Structure 1
Amino acid sequence: MEFRSQADRDYANGAFIAGAAEYPARWAGRAAAFRAGLGARAVLDLAYGPGARQRFDLFLPETTARGLLVFVHGGYWLAFGRADFSHLAAGAVARGWACAMPSYTLAPEARISAMTAEVAQAVRAASARIAGPVVVTGHSAGGHLAARMAAAEGPAPVVRVVPISPLADLRPLLATEMKAKLRLDLAEARAESPCLLPRRAEVQAHVWVGGQERPAFLWQARVLSEDWACPWTVAPGRHHFDVIDDLETAESALTDACLGGL
């Protein structure tokens, strides 16, 4: 397979995952089934701002929620939305937590800094509805945005972030083809890289990544854990597309990394 640059190869996930093209439809199908099964406890299309994608879905447990988990979807800031990943709320809801899933304005319409601000706004709006601790997790680009919620200017209610396969240092992306659509320059790459920003002392962090991921993602996860002096877990046998699956299970190690002890 030909790539324009080594950086494009480093950050190409689907090219190295068998059956990669089947995952989006699988996610969407499981998400729709989960929403249907939850019935009235799936509160959909709540606004956190005036934009078309400034909406979140809220999934509620059977009893009063113990707190709120926010999951931020990935897609290299270019693709997908909240409705593709509803099923990943299942583990949190089974443990008695509410789970909010926001969409956010994608590139090239929005730059990454604007997405960070939107996710912070979504976290504040969702946490206003649910009492208790707030944990933010997210996958890939969503892992980046989740990590940004622990930085100095992040939303005040957040007590823990669990970035899954995050883009922690955006500077390598300046050598990729996607740079143009992201409208990414060096100043924004520096300003939006979680590993270059301080983590608020009161916010816990645990970085998660799959053992079968591209080496660049293993590097990104380790860099963030080192710079933030926080634990990181390499999930054996998991690649970039299935590393999130364990969020569907209440007692999985990943769900426990998000909610355990709170």
Structure 2
Amino acid sequence: MIVHRIEDWDDAYENGRNIPGGTEYPGPWVEPAARFREAANARLDIAYGEGARHCYDLFLPEGTPRGLFVFVHGGYWMALDKSYWSHLAAGPLARGWACAMPSYDLCPDVSIAEITRQIGAAVDHMAGEVAGPIVLSGHSAGGHLVSAMMCHDSPLSASTQARLRHVVSISGLHDLRPLMNTSRNAQLKLDLDSAEANSPALKRPLPGVRLTAWVGGGERQEFLRQNALLANIWHGLGAVTLEVAEPDRHHFNVIDGLGDASSPLMRAALDPVEDA
């Protein structure tokens, strides 16, 4: 008999101190992202709302895009912005897809529900700029946000939902109730009602949209569990799901594959859509 019990919830959801060199992040992303923006065919700071952070960067491939690939950043809904991740657009661009990356307001200034609404507004605006199928990806808290886009109560417009083909949640947080036990909840301000209302794992998936739940094999056990949880539940509700724990990847380098058109992550993200 194996008995599992979490004694330290902060440690269970702490990545930086549990990864060699982890406390250096997000520093290692800054220079590669800046260099990429300087060289790319990009439209920067496109407004999707009235707030200072309500904007996104759109990176365009040569020729007509095959579709729209979106990456939503993480940071526990409390930190960072779109500028750290520009270099990850290299993978989709090499496959002929446009790639958009939004910023959004942060907790505690706004709630997770409001951030989810903002991402819906951002994706709707992006959909008006690029035609074709839509694939959403997001990391950590961003994985939660893109998963929310394919829930039955998605904030996306009906026309955008009709174009949504695939959601790739990378190290996503899909059941928010455990976060009430962490010190981060002082800023997230979750109670049981809001945690349940904002947990994709407690909702129904939109029909006809694939889910890929991707996580690093070396991540914290709670991230491995959260990854398996959504794929398991939504598979049981009729969705086409794929669950992957990529070997030798931790929470911060698991997203590196987005920058490589031939990586296992990019193949899993785009091959099913392009072959359909």
1:110 aligns with 2:110: yes
Supply the distance in 2 between the matched residues of 1:218 and 1:89 (Cα, whole angstroms). 25
Q: Which runs of 5+ in 1 are unaligned?
A: none
Supply the distance in 2 between the matched residues of 1:261 and 1:183 (Cα, whole angstroms). 38
One-letter code aligned to 1:29: E
Match in the other structure for 1:101: 101
Does structure 1 retain, via aligned residues, the 8 Å contact 2:90–2:261?
Answer: yes
Equivalent residue for 2:176, pick from 166, 170, 177: 170
Supply the distance in 2 between the matched residues of 1:93 and 1:60 (Cα, whole angstroms). 7
Describe how 1:169-248 pairs up with structure 2 within 5 A. 169-229=175-235, 230-248=241-259
Supply the distance in 2 between the matched residues of 1:184 and 1:207 (Cα, whole angstroms). 24
Shift of 1:112: 0.3
Supply the distance in 2 between the matched residues of 1:35 and 1:198 (Cα, whole angstroms). 37
Shift of 1:22: 2.4
Identity level (%): 49
Shift of 1:20: 1.3
Does structure 2 retain, via aligned residues, the 8 Å contact 1:120–1:149?
Answer: yes
Shift of 1:23: 2.6
Segments ≥4 residues shifted beyond 6 Å? none
Match in the other structure for 1:59: 59
Match in the other structure for 2:4: none
Please give the secondary structure, in 2, of the residue aligned with 1:206: strand
One-letter code aligned to 2:8: Q
Supply the distance in 2 between the matched residues of 1:99 and 1:119 (Cα, whole angstroms). 15
Does structure 1 retain, via aligned residues, the 8 Å contact 2:16–2:25?
Answer: no
Please give the secondary structure, in 2, of the residue aligned with 1:115: helix
Does structure 2 retain, via aligned residues, the 8 Å contact 1:161–1:203?
Answer: yes
Please give the secondary structure, in 2, of the residue aligned with 1:50: coil
- Count residues in correspondence: 256
Output one character per residue of 1:31-84: Cα deviation in whole Å (capped at 9) or x when no partner: 10111111xx11100000001111000000011100001100000001110011
Give the stretch that moved more between structures: 150-159 or 245-254.
150-159
Does structure 2 retain, via aligned residues, the 8 Å contact 1:149–1:158?
Answer: no
Q: Which runs of 5+ in 2 are unaligned?
A: 1-6, 236-240
Return the TM-score normalized by structure 2: 0.91
One-letter code aligned to 2:266: T
Match in the other structure for 2:265: 254
One-letter code aligned to 1:98: A
Does structure 2 retain, via aligned residues, the 8 Å contact 1:94–1:250?
Answer: yes
One-letter code aligned to 1:158: L
